[in-house]
Amino acid sequence: MDSKILQSFLKENLADLKSKGLYNVIDPLESSNGPLIKICGKEMINLSSNNYLGLATDPRLKAAAIEAINKYGVGAGAVRTINGTMELHVKLEEKLAAFKHTEAAIAFQSGFNCNMGAISAVMDKDDAILSDELNHASIIDGCRLSRAKVIAYKHSDIADLRAKSLQAKKSGLYKKIMVITDGVFSMDGDIAKLPEIVEVAEELDLITYVDDAHGSGVLGDGVGTVKHFGLSDKIDFQMGTLSKALGVIGGYVAGKKELIDWLKVRSRPFLFSTALTPGDVAACITAIDILSNSTELQKRLWENGNYLKEGLKGLGFNIGASQTPITPCIIGDEIQTQIFSRKLYENGVYAKAIIFPTVPKGTGRVRNMPTAAHTRVMLDQALVIYRKVGLEMKIL
């Protein structure tokens, strides 16, 4: 049956999104998501992937995945708590714990469901969560799912965090209070003020949760934002993804053994969704081995990030105040930003426009994600194209 209500709901809302220019058109890749990509038969310089270290196409990861598929098959066959836990999953979790300098770790099928599963396994309706207003959607959804009272604090505003935490504490309404933040904010590339957050948390006995999706592999010799600040023993939940710098798929929490034991019996994606595939797990293990043994890829990532930043700044673009290789190029007006991104595309650079409501109105930007795999020639070519489009649109 074709529901009339559904039809009119979809028609109306899709038309509304399209009329506002907010309907996202997806361009399927005809290549891997490396520094050069192919879309509609056209090769382009890719400045839009989270494959920060180029590991998604690394031959060592591919070989490990193939070997694991040959030995264990393509699927885990069950959820982790039935019989979907293979020796590979255990090895991955041991490696993650060692890499993060924690007692234990638990792996999930994605970063998104890790946040959904981990937050809601510990927090509930008698609790409160202080959440940075710019936290990722998966944190927002995880907080909602927990049914805890969510109190947003102004982005990286420690005075606001302290005032709101104090108020929550003094109210006596909540059994547990958590503070949760991204380690690196992916729209601007800024780093959370973890030392100050930890100070407030210690003062008021708050549970600390850091989502380091964009800091792992990038900061603190690759270990992440928590290590960057030397706070490994001060953060309860060190959450991260295996899908960005590590190049594969999956999410994890690293922390104290008791916390991980609890997540293993209470986290719903761990209990009710099929385990990560053997190929993915084997590739993740290899990625962690690579990061544990060398900082060469991080060095290249930062060199490329700084090179692109200097280049764009030198041309006269506004690149915001990023503290990481993530390089926004702020255009401002939403429509202008989209036209700018489309012109880059036509000229051979793939860099997506990020506009309201993802970022505040009037701060539309084209976001650039240089990686360790880009060559200087590619970055120079991208800068030539940026200059051409900037001049054409009278932005420069």
Residues serving a catalytic function are 186, 214, 244
> Nearest-CB residue to ligand PMP?
111
246 binds ligand PMP (CB under 6 A): no
251 binds ligand PMP (CB under 6 A): yes
Q: Which is nearer to ligand PMP, 191 or 379 (by Cβ)?
A: 191
* CA nearest neighbour of 261 among 122, 106, 118, 116: 106
* CA nearest neighbour of 307 among 288, 327, 291, 292: 327
Find the shortest distance in angstroms from Cβ 296 to ligand PMP: 24
Find the shortest distance in angstroms from Cβ 316 to ligand PMP: 29
Q: Which of 49, 85, 102, 138 binds ligand PMP (CB under 6 A)?
A: 138
User: Which H or E element spans position 267?
Assistant: none
Q: Which is nearer to ligand PMP, 225 or 243 (by Cβ)?
A: 243
Q: Which is nearer to ligand PMP, 112 or 345 (by Cβ)?
A: 112
> Interhelix angle for 257-266 vs 111-122, to 10°?
100
Find the shortest distance in angstroms from Cβ 117 to ligand PMP: 12
- b/e sequence 147-162, b meaning 16+ C-beta within 10 Å: ebbbbbbebbeeebbb
User: Which H or E element spans position 20?
Assistant: none
CB atoms within 10 A of CB 294: 12
117 binds ligand PMP (CB under 6 A): no
Find the shortest distance in angstroms from Cβ 374 to ligand PMP: 20
- Asked if 122 and 262 count as a contact pair (C-beta separation under 8 A), the reply is yes
Stretch that binds ligand PMP, among 67-75, 109-117, 187-195, 335-343 (CB under 6 A): 109-117
Q: Which is nearer to ligand PMP, 183 or 390 (by Cβ)?
A: 183
Residues 6+ apart with CB under 8 A from 16: none
127 binds ligand PMP (CB under 6 A): no
Q: Which is nearer to ligand PMP, 102 or 109 (by Cβ)?
A: 109
Q: Which is nearer to ligand PMP, 222 or 390 (by Cβ)?
A: 222
Find the shortest distance in angstroms from Cβ 251 to ligand PMP: 5
Find the shortest distance in angstroms from Cβ 261 to ligand PMP: 23
- Asked if 366 and 316 count as a contact pair (C-beta separation under 8 A), the reply is no
- b/e sequence 228-248, b meaning 16+ C-beta within 10 Å: bbebbebbbbbbbbbbbbbbb
User: Which H or E element spans position 64?
Assistant: helix 59-72
Stretch that binds ligand PMP, among 9-17, 55-63, 108-116, 150-158 (CB under 6 A): 108-116
Q: Determine how β-strand 207-211 pairs with β-strand 327-332.
A: unpaired
CA–CA dist 3, 9 (Å, integer): 10
Question: Which chain residues interact with ligand PMP by CB under 6 A?
Answer: 110-112, 115, 136, 138, 182, 186, 211, 213-214, 241, 243, 251
